[in-house]
Copies of this chain bind each other. A is one copy, B any other.
Amino acid sequence: MIQLPRLPRLTHRRAAPGTAPGTLHPREQRVQQIELRLMCFGRETLEERNLGSVDELPAVAELVRPGFPGAVWLDVVGLHDVELLAAVGRCFGLHPLALEDVANLGQRPKVEPYGEHLFIVLDHLHAGDQAFAVEQISLFLLPGLVITFQEVPGDPFAPVRERIRRGGNRLRTLGADYLAYALIDSVVDHFFPVLESFGERIETLEEELVDRPEPAVLEHIYRLRRELLMMRRIAWPERDVLSTLYRDELPLIGPETQVFLRDCHDHAVRALEILETYRELAGSMLDVYLSSLSHRMNEVMKVLTIIATIFIPLTFIAGVYGMNFARMPELHWRWGYPASLGMMAVVAAALVYYFRRKGWF
């Protein structure tokens, strides 16, 4: 009995219907200690440290200089402390509806302009044992400042952090919008390892499909379809986010960064196209599975039919000469027995010939 993976529960349980919008609800605690990682950098300067408490936030706010080459990046890991979220929101003037979406996980990827700032929700895919796990990444883009919120420490942003540290690249010389792009790009790039693992599973399934059309294969196809479906639910709106970012003339995003966002959008489209191809392949594989089941059944039936159809008449002949009638002249003929065996051989040969001509074996 093969266990199907559970549907990712809809347990990003929302507030009860009718609750006031913008209300922050405490999340289950998934990190031990909320981290507030600060990076503040310009062309030549770099300051990196973890904030000790919320009280340092106003000092951070003062570091932000919109026109400056470089940017300030505040990365919050862990979402269970409602107070802390509210404090961040107050300090940087984030819209309560946006903050509610940060805390209420299970949002769909989206970009929402709120007057002064841009609010972006993305889903980061962790390739794991089974397909993928989803982590909601929230990102605020303000002039000269990027604030990100992650659920767990496993960090999709590590390579970006590394590039900032290394310096001597666009990250250090362009502004906050380029930083935001770099972060978004690293999220989109994580689609591809997941797709590769899907591709490998499809290849494996294709082989099993031919070699052993077992119900386990069917389970795998179903599971695959379901996971592709769920990834699609993430990838489509994520593409829309990127399309909005590079097409709409948003005031916070400079033309130089737009070119990079177009490139990133292109990656998302490519991921989607691969995804859709896989979905169609999964559908085709199901058809092949059903057809090979049918074909196997045909084979089984043919064997049964050939054996039964040949021996049933023979058994009947034997039965006739096993009857106990007093007067059965054949029984006393000299060649009666060999003749009966011969008759059986003729019947069998005729049937074999008939099946052969039908192309059954």
Q: Which residues of A contact B (CB under 8 A)?
A: 1-4, 6-7, 9-10, 14, 16-21, 95, 97, 101, 106-108, 110, 112, 114, 156-160, 162-163, 169-171, 182, 185-186, 189-190, 192-193, 195-196, 199, 202-203, 206-207, 209-211, 215, 218-219, 222, 225-226, 229-230, 233, 237, 259-260, 262-263, 266, 269-270, 273-274, 277, 280-281, 284-298, 300-305, 307-309, 311-316, 318-328, 330-332, 334, 336-337, 340-341, 360
Q: Which 5 A-B pairs have the closest CB atoms?
A: A18-B159, A318-B319, A17-B189, A18-B186, A321-B323
Return 14 A-B CB contacts under 8 Å, by A number: A4-B206, A10-B196, A16-B189, A19-B189, A20-B169, A108-B266, A218-B295, A230-B277, A290-B291, A296-B298, A307-B309, A318-B319, A325-B331, A325-B340
Cβ-defined contact, B312 with A192, below 8 A: no
Beyond A2-B210, A108-B266, A300-B298, is A156–B18 a contact (Cβ under 8 Å)? yes
This chain: copies in complex = 5
What chain B residues lie within 8 Å of A290 (beta carbons)?
A: 287, 290-291, 294
Chain B residue nearest in CB terms to A161? B18
Cβ-defined contact, B233 with A273, below 8 A: yes
Question: How far apart are the CA atoms of A238 and B249 in the complex, in Å?
Answer: 27
What chain B residues lie within 8 Å of A304 (beta carbons)?
A: 301, 304-305, 308-309
Chain B residue nearest in CB terms to A212? B359
Smallest CB separation, A109 vs chain B (Å): 10
Beyond A206-B4, A218-B291, is A318–B326 a contact (Cβ under 8 Å)? no
